[in-house]
Amino acid sequence: MADAEEDASALSSVDLSRVALYGALLAVMAAILTPIEAGLVTSFKTSPGGVSSTLPFAPPTPEFFTLSKWSAALNALGRGMVNSALYAIPATVISAFLGSLAAYGLTQAQWKPRYKAPLLALVVAGIFIPYQAVLVPLSRFWAVYAPLDEWLSFLWALGINDDYVGILELLITHVAYGVPICTVLFRSYYKNMSIEMVESARLDGASLRRVYRRIILPLSTPMFAVVLIYQFTQIWNDLLFALVLVSTESSPAAPVTLILAGLGQSQEGVDFPLRMAGAFIAALPTLAVYVMFGEEFAEGVAS
Amino acid sequence: MRDILRTVRRRLTHDDPSTDGGTITEQRPSPGATQRVRDRLGDRFGSDFVESLPFWLPTFLLMGLFVYGAIIWNLLISLTDYQGFVQPDYTNLDLEMYAQAFTDSSVVSASVNTFLLLIAFTLATLAVGLGLAILVDRHIRFENTFRTIYLLPMSLSFVVTAQFWLWMYNFNNGVVNILLGVVGLGPVDWLGNQSVVLWAVVFALMWQFSGYAMVVYLAGLRAIPTEHYEAAKVDGASTLKMYWRVIVPQLKGSTISASVVLMVFALKAFDFLYSLVSGYRPPAGSDILATKMVREAYSNLNWAYGSAIAIMLFAMALSIIGPYLVYQFRRGNL
């Protein structure tokens, strides 16, 4: 009898702790989602009427409901979405590929670790550089020492707006600052890879290039997924380089983050529904990538 | 495994001049000056050194130019008096900009803010992340769903999250003030009050990155053998004690790598602060070195002064990364 009672109390205490556990998990989930949810419902409200007379996290009532903010935001940001994609996608692919090559040369190729270590330290440190420390030289470099807009004058003669030189500058810049993290991600993968195959191939006289193309590259597919997703998110989300290299949001070459940063700002104050709609549009590609490849994204940030 | 090896070997030895014609000539010994140099380099650095050059050299050239070259150049610019639309004069170098920065009260307060932001944000995010990781690690259902949602804000741009938090912190209609109003507090002017704005920013950044700390800690927790939990249980330790005495000390590696990454994110909080106000001047009381530097250089055109502030920021980052690199080197990770 006493045993049964003890069992029952043990069971209920277990249940209680499980209930508390799930309660805590759900509370955190609510805290994480609240800013996003409030933004979403607000983007469908009229302003200033809708935002001031409804609760920020409540859906709009029919009288305050509007889709006009979304269409306005789409109008303002559409050009930026195309511009961002124009440099984010190539820069992602190029930096991932360069990172894979460099990581291979630094891990699977046999040369003395004594000399590899300082090079690796330079790569790792390269990830953590605050970009402010290179900004002024970077803008000097593009303006004075590598004046792409002069070199590409034949393109502008074809009728392409010469502001698009900013896109090309952003592409190269993002590749340069993206390769360190790509190299480190690939390196951690190649380091843990079994070297049996590579060694036996090398003994049979295969060159490093052949080993890379026939063995390493095909086996790197899962890591390419991780690196491409991580890099794309980073490049798409960046504002600083866009601000420095393209500078004004009215430029035809302005990336989406640059336009969003100044959206809906006027003398009367901030148009919140417009900004929220804009935020969701700008976040759409990275959100889509995250929803589809959440696992790979988690892997990328964890390493 | 053996089969795979065999097919790979067959594929590799199979001569295919159309795709890989270069290797044959490369392998043939040619007793010339280049070969001698190659041999010497091979002796010095290891057998594959010369052959591996084309793989890693492009990356190092890019990095050498854009990262390390640019930092040295930045240091040089910070020693000039470069400002406005004239060209920098590299013949007259002095430390004037640094002297000016050290006596500039706005630089001093920006440094203090950077430091506070760095410490508060990192500690808070680590603590929340560890808590979340422990919760998620307790064999829960829908673990993937919870993890995905906790990590979600990290996939968003600072520009996007700044919009959300601008609305959350809105004085009249923001969620934060409305919730505080329910329990009879506030309203607080989160972004307008100089003494709270920095903490409001820290909270928003913590919201964005606690999922990241959770993922890192979760990987660390999963690497601890279950015997350690069981041994602690047998010894009669309470759950809290078990985590504090047995588990947390084993997460040192996770803590170090997560805090380095978080501190670097905090140094990059520029994007967030810029987007809050759509301009170079962040809310009073939240100016950090990153925003001060960009404002001096790109808004006031004080290029040399901006560069000097950038070097201070760089030194701050280096004091975090340097020990981290030494730590990784000692553990044989480099």
Average pLDDT over residues A31-55: 85
Alpha-carbon span A105 to B52, nearest angstrom: 5
ipTM here:
0.87
Torsion of CA B73, B78, B80, B83, to 10 degrees: 100
What is the per-residue pLDDT across A260-298, written as a single tens digit (0 to 9) for each?
Answer: 888 877 666 778 888 899 999 999 999 998 888 877 777
Count how many Cα atoms sit within 13 Å of the Cα of residue A102 in the half-sphere of its side chain. 29
Q: Are strands A269-270 and A265-266 parallel, antiparallel or unpaired?
A: antiparallel
- And the tokens for B279? 């301009």
Question: Cis bond leading into A59, ω under 30°?
Answer: no
Q: Is the pLDDT of residue A11 over 70?
A: no
Asked if B60 and A124 come within 8 Å (Cβ–Cβ), the reply is: no
Q: How many residues are given for chain A?
A: 303
Q: Is the pLDDT of residue A230 over 80?
A: yes
- Residue A299, Cα to own-chain centre: how many angstroms? 14
**What is the least distance, in Å, from the CA of A70 to any CA of chain B?**
15
Tell me if residue B323 falls in helix, strand or coil.
helix
**What is the least distance, in Å, from the CA of B195 to any CA of chain A?**
23
DSSP3 helix / strand / coil % (chain A, rounded to 5): 80, 0, 20
What is the per-residue pLDDT across B253-299, written as a single tens digit (0 to 9) for each?
Answer: 888 888 888 887 887 789 999 988 888 888 888 889 999 999 988 88
Query: Residue written as tokens 């890989």?
Result: B20
What is the per-residue pLDDT across B99-148, written as a single tens digit (0 to 9) for each?
Answer: 888 888 889 999 999 999 999 999 999 999 999 998 888 888 888 888 88
- Give pLDDT, residue B310: 92
What is the per-residue pLDDT across B116-125, written as a single tens digit (0 to 9) for each?
Answer: 999 999 999 9
Q: Which residues on chain B are in Cβ contact (under 8 Å) with A229?
A: none
- Give pLDDT, residue B18: 44
- Give pLDDT, residue A267: 63
B241 vs B6, higher pLDDT: B241
- Give pLDDT, residue A201: 82
Asked if A128 and B321 come within 8 Å (Cβ–Cβ), the reply is: yes
Q: Which residues on chain B are in Cβ contact (under 8 Å) with A208?
A: 48, 51-52, 55
Alpha-carbon span B65 to B48, nearest angstrom: 25
- Per residue in A141-170, is it b (16+ CB within 10 Å) or e — as a string? bbeeeeebbeeeeebeeeeeebbbbbbbbb
Residue of A13, A15, A18, A25 to mutate for B, most B C-beta atoms under 10 A:
A25
Domain ranges of chain A: 2-64, 69-302
Query: Residue written as tokens 């015997």?
Result: B227
What is the per-residue pLDDT across A62-121, written as a single tens digit (0 to 9) for each?
Answer: 778 888 889 888 888 888 899 999 999 999 999 999 999 999 888 877 777 777 788 888
- And the tokens for B135? 């919760």
- Give pLDDT, residue A9: 56
* B window 101-130, beta carbon within 8 A of A: none
Backbone angles phi, psi at A189, to 5 degrees: -75, -45
Q: Which residues on chain A are in Cβ contact (under 8 Å) with B321?
A: 124-125, 128
Question: Cis bond leading into A35, ω under 30°?
Answer: no
Task: Select B97-330's CATH number: 1.10.3720.10, 3.40.50.620, 2.70.150.10, 3.30.70.100.
Answer: 1.10.3720.10
Phi/psi region, residue B50 (left: phi>0; alpha: psi -120 to 50; beta: rest), is alpha
Return the closest-CA partner of residue B79 out of B295, B292, B311, B294: B311
Q: Which helix (H) or strand (E) holds A277?
A: helix A272-292
Cβ proximity of A290 and B155 under 8 Å: yes
Choose among B4, B149, B175: nearest Cβ to A38: B175
Residue of B4, B59, B262 to mutate for A, most A C-beta atoms under 10 A:
B59
Q: Which CATH superfamily is domain A69-302 in?
A: MetI-like (1.10.3720.10)
Asked if B63 and A101 come within 8 Å (Cβ–Cβ), the reply is: no
Q: Which residues on chain B are in Cβ contact (under 8 Å) with A100?
A: none
Residue of B nearest to A120 (CA): B334
Sign of CA dihedral B23, A114, B216, A89: negative
* B window 214-273, beta carbon within 8 A of A: 215-216, 219, 260, 264, 267-268, 270-271
- Give pLDDT, residue B7: 52
Written as one string, the DSSP assignment of B148-171 is HHHHGGGGS-HHHHHHHHHHHT-T
Q: Which residues on chain B are in Cβ contact (under 8 Å) with A40?
A: none
B95 touches A: beta carbon within 8 Å: no
Backbone angles phi, psi at B204, to 5 degrees: -65, -40
Q: Is the pLDDT of residue B28 over 70?
A: no
Confidence band (pLDDT; 50, 70, 90) for B15? very low
User: How many interchain CB pairs under 8 A, A with B?
Assistant: 332
B161 vs B95, higher pLDDT: B161
B292 touches A: beta carbon within 8 Å: no
Domain ranges of chain B: 31-66, 97-330
- And the tokens for A219? 């086996």
Phi/psi region, residue A109 (left: phi>0; alpha: psi -120 to 50; beta: rest), is beta
Asked if B146 and A29 come within 8 Å (Cβ–Cβ), the reply is: yes
B171 touches A: beta carbon within 8 Å: no
Q: Is the pLDDT of residue B16 over 50?
A: no
Average pLDDT over residues B311-323: 89
